[in-house]
Structure 1
Amino acid sequence: MREESDQFGAVEISKDALYGIQTVRTMQNLSFSGRTLSQYSTYIESLALVKKAAALANQEAGIIDNIIGNAIMIACDSLIKGDYHEHFPIDILHGGGGIGTNMNMNEVIANLANELFGTPRGSYSPIHPADQVNASQSTSDVCHTAIRLAIMKRSEPLFAALDQLIEAIKSKAVEFQDVTTIARTCLQDGMRVQLGDTFSGYSQVINRRLLSLEEATSKLHFINLGGTVIGSGVGAPQAYRDTVVSKLCEVSGIDLAHRENLYDAAQNIDDLARVSSELRILASCLIKLAKDLRLLSSGPEAGFAEIQLPAVQAGSSFFPGKVNPVIPETLIQCCFQVIGCDSVVQSTLEHGELGLNVFEGAAGVNILDAMGMLEKALVTFTEKCIREIEANRERCEELSNSFIPLVVELKEKVGYTAAARLAKDKGNEEIKNLIQNGGFEYDTSNE
C-alpha cells in the first residue's frame, strides 16, 4: 500500500493502482450505480484523446515543456489503444459535474507518465495530475468534449446495424412482393395488400429515422474545449485556446469546431437531448415493427399466421413444442430501456442551472447505454429474425379472399352504397361469383 494526502486527510491506496486519492474520494463519496468508468472504454479513449490534444496545445503555447508533454502523450496513447482501463473504478454516474471522471483520468495519466522518469506511482513528480496533465483545462470542457467524441464513435456501429436492418427488410420486401394478403385497420379486416408493400413501409421508416439520427449526431462536432468552466476560457491562455481544437482534430481524425457561443455550450445540452430524442423515436418505431411481426406470425393455428419467424429456442417450459417470438420481444424490451434512457436525458436538460449543467455526464452516459443496447439488439434482430422470415403463402391467399377484401373489390365496381347492401344480403361465395362473373342485377334506383 501507499499513502496519499489532501486537505481532507490521508488515504491508503494499493501501490499498484494508477489512480490516486481524488479517485478514491469519488469512490467513497459518490458511488451508487454499480457501473464503473472502466466499463466505458470508448469514453476513456475519448478522454485520453482530449488530454493528448491539450498536451500538444500546452506545448505549443509554452505552458509545459516538450519532455513533460511527450511523457503525457505517451501515457495517453496507452489508454487510447485500450491499456490500463481497469484503473478507472469510479462510478460512471457520480455527481459533482464529472470531477471524478476528470481526476481519475488525470491521476492515471500522471502515474503512467511519471514511470517514464523512474518515479513510483503516487509520487506525482515531475508530472502532477492537476498542474501538468490538467493544465489549461477544467472538468467542464474536458468531459463535455470527450462525451461527445464517445457518442460519435459509439454511433458508428449503431448506424451500421441500422443499415444492415434496412437492407434485410428491403430484401424481404422484394421476396414477398408476389404474396397477396390482407391489410388491417383498427385490428379489423381491410383490403388486399402485397406483403412486400408492408415490408417496404418498415424499411422506409427505419431509414428515415437513421437519417434523422445521423443529422442530430452531426451537431456534436461542435464542442467547447478551451472554454474551461463556464465558457469564458479563464485559466486557459489564448495561445492554448487558439490551437487546442485543431490539435484534437489532428489526434482524433474527427472534424471538430468550437460552438458558436461557449457560454451557451456550458449551460445547455440540448444537442445531447436531441440525439436522445431521436433514439427514443427510433425505439418507438422499432417497437411497432417488432409488434407487427408478433401479430403477423401469431398462431400457428389460432392466429394470423401470415409469416413464420425463425425458431431459435424453446418458447415455453410448459407447452411442449411451443415456439415464441423471442427475438422481436427482446428488441421490444431493449427499446423500453432506450425510452427510459431518454427520460433521464431530458431530465438532465431541464435541471441545468445558471452557468453550468452539472448533469451533462448522466445525459452522455445514458445515450451511450441506449446506443450500445440498440446496436446489440438490432444485430441479433436482423440476423436471427428478419433474414429468416418466411411467408405462409397459402394462409395469405386465404385471407386475401376473405369477406371484407372481396367487398372492397366489389365497391370499386358498383360503388359504396350498393356494395354495402350486397354485403348485407349475400355471403362470401356469392360476392366472389358476382366479382368473377360480372353482370350485377342489384337494383340501386331507390338509393
Structure 2
Amino acid sequence: MREETDQFGTVVMSEKALYGIQTQRTLNNLSFSGLPLGRYPAYIESLALVKKAAALANYEAGVVDWDICKAIIEACDYLLKGNQYDQFPIDILHGGGGIGTNMNVNEVIANLANESLGFPRGSYTPVHPADHVNASQSTSDVCHTAIRLAIMKSFQPLFAALEQLVGAINVKAGEFQNVTTIARTCLQDGMRIQLGDTFSGYAQVIKRRLFSLKEAAGTLKFINLGGTVIGSGAGAPKLYRDKAVSKLCEVSGFKLLHRENLFDAAQNMDDLAVVSSELKILASCLLKLAKDLRLLSSGPEAGFGEIQLPAVQAGSSFFPGKINPVIPETVIQCCFQVYGCDCAVQSALEHGELGLNVFEGAAGANILNAAEMLEKVLVTFTEKCIKGIEVNRENCEKHANTFIPLVVELKEKVGYAAAAQLVKENGKEDLKNMILSGGIGYDTDNQ
C-alpha cells in the first residue's frame, strides 16, 4: 500500500491505483449517487482528448518540452483505447465545479506517463498532474469542453436508434394503409381513418424531434477551452489559447469553435438546458406513442383490440395466457426518468451564480443518462415491439362501421342540419342500419 498524508488527513490507496490523493479525497468526501465517472466512457474519452490537445498546444506554446508532451499523449491514447476505466472511481455528481473529475483524469494520465518513462506511480515526476497535465487549463474549461464533446459523441447511437424507429414505423404505415378503422377524439368515437395514416403521424413526429435534437446538439460545438476559470484566459499563454481548440479538432475529429464570449460560457449553460429540453420533448412524444399502442392493443376482447403487440414474455403471474404491453410500458417509464433528468438540468441552469456555474457537471451527467436510457429503450422498442405489430382487421372494420363514423360521412353528403334531423327522427341504431343498407340513398362504398 502507498500512503499520502497532508493537512486534510491520511489517505491509504492500493499500489495498483493510478489515481492519487486528490481523487481519493473526492471519493471520501463527495460521493453519494453510486454513479462513478468510469461508467461514462464517452466522458473519459473526451477528457483524454482535451488533455491530449492541451499537451500539443502547450508544447507549441513552449510550456512543456517534447518528452513530457509525448508521454502525456501516449497516456491519453492508452485511455482512448478503453483501458483503465476502473481507475475513475469518483462520483460523477460532486461539488467543486468538477474538480474531482479533472483531478482524477490528471492523476491517472500523470501516473501512466511517468510509468512509461520508467518512474513509479505516485512519484509525479517528471510529469506532474497539475503542473504538466493540467498546464494552461482550469477545471472550468476542461470539464465544460469535455462534457459537450461527450454529449455529441453519445448522441450518435441515439440518433441512429431514432432513425431506425422512424423507418420501422414507416414500414408499418405502409402495411396498414389499406386498413380502415376509427379515429378517436376526446377518447370518443370519431371518423373513419386509415390505420396507416395514424402510423405515418407517429413516424413524422419522431422524425421532427430527431431533427430538432440534432439542431440543439449542434450548438455544443461552441466551447471555451483556453478560457481557464471564468473566461479571461488567465494562467494560459496566448499562443496556447490560440492553438487549443484547433488541436482538439485535430485529435477528436469534431468541428469545434470558441464560444463568442468565453465569460458567458463560464457563467451560462443554457445550451445544455436546450438540449435537455429537446430530450424531454422527445420523451413526451415517445410516451404518447407508447400510450397509444397500449390503447389500440387493449383487450384484446373487451378493449380496442385493433392491433396486436408482439408477446415477449408472460404478461401476468395470475392470469394464464394474458399478454401485457410490457415494452410500451417500459418506454413510458424510461420517459418518466428522462423528465427527471431534465428537471435536474434546468435546476442546474437556474442555480448558476456570478462568474461560474459550478453545477454544469450535474447537467451534463443527467443529459448523458437520459440519452443512454433513450437509446437503449428505443432499440428494444423498435426490434421487439414496432416491427412485430399486427393488425386485427375484423375489429378495425367493426369499429369503422359504428354510428359516429357513418353519420359523419352522412353529414358530408346531406349537411349537418339534415343529418342531425335524421338522427332525431330515426334514432342511432335504425339510422345506422339505414345507412349501411343504403336505405336513405347513401352508398357507403363510395367513400
| TM-score, length-scaled by structure 2 | 0.97
2:342 paired residue number:
342
- Structure 2 CA distance, aligned partners of 1:347 and 1:430? 58
Report if the CA contact (8 A) 1:230-1:266 is conserved. yes
User: Per the alignment, do residues 37 and 439 of structure 1 end up closer, same or farther by CA in structure 2, a change over 3 Å counting?
Assistant: closer
Could you say what secondary structure the match of 1:200 adopts? Answer: helix
Map of 1:92-107 to 2, 5 A cutoff? Answer: 92-107=92-107
Report if the CA contact (8 A) 1:307-1:390 is conserved. yes
1:403 paired residue number:
403
1:125 paired residue number:
125
- Structure 2 CA distance, aligned partners of 1:417 and 1:205? 36
Report if the CA contact (8 A) 1:30-1:94 is conserved. yes
| Cα offset, 1:432, TM superposition | 4.3
| Cα offset, 1:433, TM superposition | 3.0
1:437 paired residue number:
438
- Structure 1 CA distance, aligned partners of 2:345 and 2:440? 64
- Structure 1 CA distance, aligned partners of 2:226 and 2:179? 60
2:237 paired residue number:
237
- Structure 2 CA distance, aligned partners of 1:423 and 1:392? 30
Could you say what secondary structure the match of 1:205 adopts? Answer: helix
Q: Does 1:43 align with 2:36?
A: no
| Cα offset, 1:438, TM superposition | 6.3
User: Per the alignment, do residues 412 and 436 of structure 1 end up closer, same or farther by CA in structure 2, a change over 3 Å counting?
Assistant: farther
Report if the CA contact (8 A) 1:423-1:431 is conserved. no
User: Per the alignment, do residues 383 and 429 of structure 1 end up closer, same or farther by CA in structure 2, a change over 3 Å counting?
Assistant: farther
Could you say what secondary structure the match of 1:193 adopts? Answer: strand
Moved more, 6-15 or 428-437: 428-437
1:25 paired residue number:
25
- Structure 1 CA distance, aligned partners of 2:189 and 2:378? 31
Q: What residue identity is the alignment partner of 1:352?
A: G
| Cα offset, 1:118, TM superposition | 1.3
- Structure 1 CA distance, aligned partners of 2:93 and 2:349? 16
Query: CA offsets per residue over residues 363-387 of structure 1, 9 Å max, x none?
Result: 0000000000000000000000000
- Structure 1 CA distance, aligned partners of 2:69 and 2:346? 39
1:307 paired residue number:
307
Report if the CA contact (8 A) 2:141-2:227 is conserved. yes
Q: Does 1:295 align with 2:292?
A: no
Map of 1:147-226 to 2, 5 A cutoff? Answer: 147-226=147-226
| Cα offset, 1:434, TM superposition | 3.9
1:279 paired residue number:
279
| Cα offset, 1:193, TM superposition | 0.4
Report if the CA contact (8 A) 1:154-1:368 is conserved. yes
Report if the CA contact (8 A) 2:406-2:435 is conserved. no
- Structure 2 CA distance, aligned partners of 1:439 and 1:331? 48
Report if the CA contact (8 A) 2:2-2:15 is conserved. yes
Could you say what secondary structure the match of 1:3 adopts? Answer: strand
Could you say what secondary structure the match of 1:182 adopts? Answer: strand
Report if the CA contact (8 A) 2:191-2:405 is conserved. yes
Could you say what secondary structure the match of 2:54 adopts? Answer: helix
| Cα offset, 1:90, TM superposition | 0.4
2:445 paired residue number:
none
Aligned alpha-carbon RMSD (Å): 1.2
| Cα offset, 1:414, TM superposition | 1.3
Q: What residue identity is the alignment partner of 2:18?
A: L
Q: Does 1:318 align with 2:318?
A: yes
Could you say what secondary structure the match of 2:4 adopts? Answer: strand
Report if the CA contact (8 A) 2:434-2:440 is conserved. no
- Structure 2 CA distance, aligned partners of 1:311 and 1:292? 17
Q: What residue identity is the alignment partner of 1:431?
A: K
Q: Does 1:327 align with 2:337?
A: no
Query: CA offsets per residue over residues 155-175 of structure 1, 9 Å max, x none?
Result: 000000000000100110010
User: Per the alignment, do residues 203 and 410 of structure 1 end up closer, same or farther by CA in structure 2, a change over 3 Å counting?
Assistant: same
Unmatched runs of 5 consecutive residues or more in structure 2: 443-447
1:428 paired residue number:
429
1:380 paired residue number:
380
2:268 paired residue number:
268
Could you say what secondary structure the match of 1:97 adopts? Answer: coil
- Structure 1 CA distance, aligned partners of 2:285 and 2:8? 51
| Cα offset, 1:409, TM superposition | 1.1
Q: What residue identity is the alignment partner of 2:188?
A: Q
- Structure 1 CA distance, aligned partners of 2:290 and 2:421? 38
Could you say what secondary structure the match of 1:225 adopts? Answer: coil
- Structure 1 CA distance, aligned partners of 2:440 and 2:8? 97
User: Per the alignment, do residues 421 and 85 of structure 1 end up closer, same or farther by CA in structure 2, a change over 3 Å counting?
Assistant: same
| Cα offset, 1:423, TM superposition | 2.0
Report if the CA contact (8 A) 1:406-1:432 is conserved. no
- Structure 1 CA distance, aligned partners of 2:361 and 2:229? 14
Q: What residue identity is the alignment partner of 1:13?
A: M
Query: CA offsets per residue over residues 46-97 of structure 1, 9 Å max, x none?
Result: 0000000000000010100000000000000011110011000101101110
Report if the CA contact (8 A) 1:109-1:129 is conserved. yes
Q: What residue identity is the alignment partner of 1:154?
A: S
1:136 paired residue number:
136
Query: CA offsets per residue over residues 289-325 of structure 1, 9 Å max, x none?
Result: 0000000000011000000000000000110110000
| TM-score, length-scaled by structure 1 | 0.97
Could you say what secondary structure the match of 1:184 adopts? Answer: strand
| Cα offset, 1:435, TM superposition | 6.1
Query: CA offsets per residue over residues 72-126 of structure 1, 9 Å max, x none?
Result: 0000001111001100010110111000000000000000000012111111111
- Structure 2 CA distance, aligned partners of 1:407 and 1:375? 44
| Cα offset, 1:418, TM superposition | 1.6
User: Per the alignment, do residues 166 and 413 of structure 1 end up closer, same or farther by CA in structure 2, a change over 3 Å counting?
Assistant: same
Unmatched runs of 5 consecutive residues or more in structure 1: 442-447
Report if the CA contact (8 A) 1:422-1:431 is conserved. no
| Cα offset, 1:9, TM superposition | 4.0
Report if the CA contact (8 A) 2:290-2:331 is conserved. yes
| Cα offset, 1:430, TM superposition | 3.8
| Cα offset, 1:417, TM superposition | 1.5
Report the number of matched residues.
Answer: 441
Q: What residue identity is the alignment partner of 2:59?
A: Q
